[in-house]
């Protein structure tokens, strides 16, 4: 008889012993409840998870079925045109490397993001892609679970995790400078309602460098309705801007609808430049001048990082490309 020399899986009881707590407390930390855990105790548990390499496993047959060849993608809302195209690019990049992609929306009501992360990891995925903004607690959980992970579409470096994104400020500044080159001197901005946006910083920097005052500023959700509402606010402003930078194509398309309904011609009465470079930007009229995010390059870089599983965690940055069309006032053949 030969002894079974396969390494024993780390259990929740192992984590509890290492952290000096009960298995119930480990459960409360990993499940974010139902009982609260003191911050120092929580850190001890998460440290034990990291040191021991514990990974929750809700599907005992996952590895034998080959789900380690699957990546998990947590995306804010794949109904968004930008996120839909990002999901497609990531799915293709995964397939090119012999992996499949399991997609979960993080905006589902009554389901915490931390719970969705644990659910994905329990399926023994080979890597986790996060296309959403994590809280500090959610990021700590990802780090503690010890799975290869990449945050995609971020404004900059995410401490403790690999991240992939574009330089939003530089891209927005270039789009604003293009509007300035048309001779527009009153340029507004329509962008994120949630927080200060690097695209807003790029808009501010371009106007400041040109010695121009800030135009009207409106904060709205990244939706078509948000863009429509932004246009209504700009039309009611004490001075309507001559041009506007929209933080996403979705916002810009909503603005086009509102301006058109109220008799304003784009770009004759008000010019628009936007951000993202989704397919829809080319199929509205006038076609949108937009700062394009190179989604295919970003997706392939994300998959390469997951497959490498290196510890040199850093931000991988890509340049945007300004695709000039008619919404800014250019004549394009």
Same-domain check for residues 82 and 2: no
Same-domain check for residues 207 and 305: no
The secondary structure of the chain in percent helix, strand, coil, rounded to multiples of 5, reads 40, 15, 40
Banded pLDDT at 118 (limits 50, 70, 90): confident
Residues 271-296: what's their mean pLDDT? 97
Mean pLDDT comparison of 31-40, 53-62, 279-288, highest-scoring range: 279-288
At residue 261, the pLDDT reads 97
Residue 50 lies in a domain: no
Bond from prior residue into 34 cis (ω within 30 degrees of 0):
yes
Chain segment 253-269, per-residue pLDDT in tens: 999 999 999 999 999 99
Same-domain check for residues 300 and 160: yes
Same-domain check for residues 9 and 79: no
Q: At what angle do helices 249-261 and 224-236 cross, to 10 degrees?
A: 50
At residue 322, the pLDDT reads 98
Neighbours of 313 (CB within 10 A): 16
At residue 314, the pLDDT reads 81
Residue 331 lies in a domain: no
- 184/178 Cα distance (integer angstroms): 9
More confident residue, 66 or 51: 51
Same-domain check for residues 179 and 248: yes
SS3 for 43-57, per residue? HHHHHHHHHHCCCCC
* Domain boundaries, position 147: 67-166+295-318
At residue 66, the pLDDT reads 43
At residue 29, the pLDDT reads 84
Where residue 252 sits, what CATH number does that domain have? 3.40.50.2300
Same-domain check for residues 250 and 197: yes
Residue 288 lies in a domain: yes
Same-domain check for residues 263 and 157: no
Same-domain check for residues 152 and 183: no
Q: Which residues contact 99 (CB under 8 A, 6 or more apart)?
A: 69, 70, 71, 126, 303
Same-domain check for residues 120 and 257: no
Banded pLDDT at 196 (limits 50, 70, 90): low
At residue 4, the pLDDT reads 47
Domain count, the chain: 3
At residue 156, the pLDDT reads 65
């Amino acid at each position: 008889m030969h002894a079974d020399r396969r390494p024993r899986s780390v259990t929740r009881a192992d984590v509890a012993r290492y952290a000096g707590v009960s298995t119930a407390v480990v459960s409360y930390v990993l499940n974010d409840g139902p009982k609260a855990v003191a911050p120092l105790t929580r850190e001890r548990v998460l440290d034990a998870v990291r040191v021991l390499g514990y990974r929750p496993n809700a599907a005992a047959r996952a590895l034998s079925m080959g789900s380690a060849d699957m990546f998990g993608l947590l995306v804010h809302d794949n109904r968004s045109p930008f996120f839909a195209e990002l999901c497609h690019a990531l799915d293709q990049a995964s397939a090119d490397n012999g992996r499949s992609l399991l997609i979960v929306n993080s905006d589902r009501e009554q389901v915490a993001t931390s719970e969705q992360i644990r659910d994905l990891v329990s399926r023994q995925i080979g890597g986790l892609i996060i296309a959403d903004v994590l809280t500090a607690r959610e990021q700590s959980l990802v780090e503690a679970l010890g799975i290869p992970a990449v945050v995609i579409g971020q404004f900059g470096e995410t401490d403790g995790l690999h991240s992939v994104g574009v330089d939003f400020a530089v891209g927005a500044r270039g789009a604003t400078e293009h509007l300035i080159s048309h001779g527009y001197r009153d340029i507004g901005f329509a962008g994120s309602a949630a927080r200060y946006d690097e695209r807003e910083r790029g808009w501010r920097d371009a106007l400041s460098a040109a010695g121009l005052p800030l135009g009207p500023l409106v904060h709205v959700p990244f939706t078509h309705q948000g863009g429509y509402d932004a246009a209504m606010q700009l039309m009611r402003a004490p001075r309507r801007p001559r041009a506007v930078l929209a933080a996403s194509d979705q916002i810009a398309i909503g603005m086009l609808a509102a301006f058109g309904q109220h008799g304003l011609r784009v770009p004759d009465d008000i010019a628009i430049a936007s951000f993202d470079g989704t397919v829809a930007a080319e199929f509205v009229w006038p076609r949108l001048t937009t700062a394009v995010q190179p989604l295919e390059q970003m997706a392939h870089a994300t998959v390469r990082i997951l497959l490498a599983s290196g510890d040199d965690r850093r931000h991988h940055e890509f340049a945007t490309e300004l695709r000039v069309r008619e919404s800014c006032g250019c004549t394009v053949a």
